[in-house]
Amino acid sequence: MDLEKTVRNLKARHFLVSCFASGKEAVDYLKTQINETTVGIGGCKTADQLGLYDVLSENNQVFWHWRSPGMDTLKQANAADVYITGANAISEDGEILNIDGRGNRLAGQVFGNKRVFIIAGTNKICPDFDAALYRARNVAAVENGKRFENQNPCRLDGKCHDCRSTERICNALLVLWGPMMDMTTEIILIDEELGM
């Protein structure tokens, strides 16, 4: 994993990038950047591990379906001024990959929010696009699938089968090659193993 190369390439793609040695430093930074606004959080294990919902709820109105399940919360999150999500994988070339079942966290990264923060541990960094795609499908998606009580083949044997299950949780892949027009997207890289 080449962090310097990754940061250089993310910046070359016009993402804002901030790097932190610890999750605590990243949380402290996010508290300075997000204040007195509306915040949506997508399905994100890293946000959960960092306690972002509780921290940001002190001075913001935060919508997260992991705390308040339901379609209304999903819609409110995607209409918030700020959107926070993670990354399934980031290539050293600066590509950000995410897989989703419902699409809410993919939508939050590409339309409607003024500012997007993508938070990720450096364990998500992969040497190239193919390695990042492999990680997204066979590590992150498989681990995510284990959280649910469905019988998708990946849950049973730990590898993607590109299944046609009605319980499939990997229905779309999003690759960000740059921030979307009229949106500010900042990548928060944390030198810890975080998320799935």
Q: What is the DSSP string of 177-194?
A: SSPPTT-EEEEEEESS--
What's the chain's average pLDDT?
92
C-alpha 84/C-alpha 196 separation (Å) is 16
C-alpha 5/C-alpha 66 separation (Å) is 34
Q: In this structure, is residue 163 part of a structural domain?
A: no
* Distance of alpha carbon 176 from the chain centroid: 11
Residue 5, pLDDT > 90, answer: yes
Residue 54, pLDDT > 90, answer: yes
The mean pLDDT value for 175-187 works out to 95
Q: What is the CATH number of the domain that holds 46?
A: 3.40.50.10420
C-alpha 122/C-alpha 105 separation (Å) is 20
Q: In this structure, is residue 100 part of a structural domain?
A: yes
Token readout for 64 is: 């997260």
Residue 52, pLDDT > 90, answer: yes
| AA letter at 138 | N
CA distance between the termini of the chain: 17
Domain coverage including residue 52: 3-128+170-190
Q: In this structure, is residue 16 part of a structural domain?
A: yes
- Total domain count, the chain: 1
Q: In this structure, is residue 148 part of a structural domain?
A: no
Q: In this structure, is residue 135 part of a structural domain?
A: no
Whether residue 116 contacts residue 109, with contact meaning beta carbons closer than 8 Å, is answered with yes
Q: In this structure, is residue 195 part of a structural domain?
A: no
| Residue count (the chain) | 196
Q: In this structure, is residue 42 part of a structural domain?
A: yes
What are the tens digits of pLDDT across the range 127-161? 999 999 999 988 888 787 777 777 777 777 778 77
What are the tens digits of pLDDT across the range 86-126? 999 999 999 999 999 888 999 999 987 889 999 999 999 99
Whether residue 94 contacts residue 12, with contact meaning beta carbons closer than 8 Å, is answered with yes
C-alpha 175/C-alpha 133 separation (Å) is 9
DSSP, residue by residue, 37-96: SEEEE-S-HHHHHHTHHHHHHTTSEEEETTTS-SHHHHHHHHHSSEEEEE-SEEETTS-E
pLDDT at 116: 97
Quick check: pTM over 0.95?
A: no
Residues of the chain with pLDDT > 70, as a percent, come to: 100
Residue 163, pLDDT > 80, answer: no
